[in-house]
Chain A
């Protein structure tokens, strides 16, 4: 579980996150949604420590991440996987080497063990026969899957995904979403996904958090989101013709 307590963040006196407090639950796919520029990425970067919140606390389990120094944070970092929007695969390494990288860096596994673990993770994301390809030889959907495999190779307790299905066709997008959601349940991970795709919300949103102009506006499940009276949220949910038609 991750607890966010009264987090504030500004850039050049301009507040981007305003007093955000919420929890992300274990074994669930937690979605952060909101319009472009609402502060989703900034929130996620504060969660993983790529940015420091100006005020407030971020607590992993019962460890206060905000109060920790660089060295102490390593303990938490080892339990943390992240899927970046552009996959962020290391382009000087093959697919297998990418997946093995965290293992090489942080475990004392033998080469054989690492290869087996990498093969297991690649198998888990349904990627066959791509082991020796370079990232430049992969399609967008394959890159995302390799990135998921890399993120889960060290058996993380926490998984962060930044717009996991952006730039993918609808079937592939759903496939990636489903994969994330399955992995979350299967390995009992606390997963946080940042998205503005209503399809993802309806497919995998165990807990949905709506951020509006840097404020926490609404929290609920995917079942509740369609029937809320909240105006700003409704504007977001029913922004497309498709959703409006479905509503009728």
Chain B
């Protein structure tokens, strides 16, 4: 029952977001600011995680495919596919759900409990639209960019660990990274990321916007934002994988 209530209210909120903006230029300016706050500030953590995960995936694959029947390009190929198809879009989106989701929910939640949202509503500003829509759009633009960077850095991480430890020869790694490369896979990663970005920003915006009560509730809202956007990412990952890869 509670779940149905939340889902209903979520879709009503999404409807409110789509009301015509009071002034388009204010929204555009906000999108740019949000791209900076939500995207560029996440670049560091995305870079670090990508390089290390790429390295680990390469080592794991190398040790677990050490079999005479497997072709020599198996390691690089498996690493690349793992990074492009799952690791970068899904894991990075989960990381962003933690970082960006909590940020969105606590920012909007704080505005709710300190009556800043009421102040906007009274002026006649569509507070939900003005606060949440630019964040959704900014995330849908910037997250795919972060994921493409993550793919490059992940593969680079594999290269680095190959160079450093020799689990795979460099020549072999480079060859296998390019082996049967399909740009559709990258497309697939981007489509998934865009959907996940929408989930992160809208679900977190929802929990922030409907925060009730005191500062304590802001913490609660931000926890819920992270938990539920993560769950929905996992869920939609399954659905999208079914839809896009068959």
Q: Give A residues with C-beta under 8 Å from B.
A: 48-50, 70, 73-74, 77-78, 80, 82, 84-86, 88-91, 101-102, 104-106, 154, 160
Q: How many A-B contacts at CB < 8 Å in the complex?
A: 53
**Contacts of A84 on B, CB cut-off 8 Å?**
115, 118-119
Least distance between B82 CB and chain A CB atoms (Å) = 40
Q: How far is the CB of B127 from chain A (nearest CB, A)?
A: 11
Give the chain B neighbours of A154 by CB distance below 8 A. Answer: 123
Complex: how many Å from CA A7 to CA B124?
A: 23
Q: When each residue 114-129 of chain B gets 1 if its CB lies under 8 Å from chain A and 0 otherwise, what string results? A: 1110110111110000
Cα-based distance from A127 to B45 in the complex (angstroms): 42
Q: Is the pair B124, A88 in contact by a Cβ cutoff of 8 Å?
A: no
Q: Looking at the complex, which one of A50, A86, A90, A106 makes contact with B121 (CB distance below 8 Å)? A: A50
20 pairs across A/B with beta carbons < 8 Å? A49-B121, A50-B122, A70-B19, A77-B123, A78-B124, A82-B122, A84-B118, A84-B119, A86-B115, A88-B115, A88-B116, A89-B116, A90-B119, A91-B110, A91-B116, A105-B22, A105-B23, A105-B125, A106-B23, A106-B124
The residues of A that contact B118 with a CB separation of less than 8 Å are: 50, 82, 84, 88
Find residues 103-120 in chain B having any chain A CB closer than 8 Å to their own CB: 110-111, 114-116, 118-119
Q: B26 near A: Cβ within 8 Å?
A: yes
Among the listed A77, A85, A89, A160, which residue makes an inter-chain contact with B124, where contact means beta carbons less than 8 Å apart?
A77
Q: How far is the CA of A86 from the CA of B112 in the complex (A)?
A: 12
Which residue in A49, A70, A82, A104 is a CB contact (below 8 Å) of B119? A82
**Given A86-B115, A90-B116: A105 in contact with B122 (beta carbons within 8 A):** no
Structural contact, A102 and B123, CB atoms closer than 8 A: yes
Q: Distance (Å) between the CB of B14 and the closest chain A CB? A: 16
Known: A91-B114, A102-B123. 8 other contacts (CB 8 A): A77-B122, A77-B123, A77-B124, A90-B119, A91-B116, A105-B22, A105-B26, A160-B122
- Interface membership of chain B positions 56-91, coded 1 if the CB is closer than 8 angstroms to chain A and 0 otherwise: 000000000000000000000000000000000000
- Output the nearest chain A residue to B19 by Cβ-Cβ distance: A70
Docked Cα-Cα span, A82 to B19, in Å, equals 24
CB distance from B33 to the nearest CB of A (A): 9
B-side contacts of A50, CB under 8 Å = 118, 121-122
Alpha-carbon distance A88/B123, docked complex (angstroms): 13
B124, A48: Cβ atoms closer than 8 Å: no
Whether A88 pairs with B119 at a CB distance below 8 angstroms is yes
Measured between beta carbons, the chain B residues less than 8 angstroms from A102 are: 123
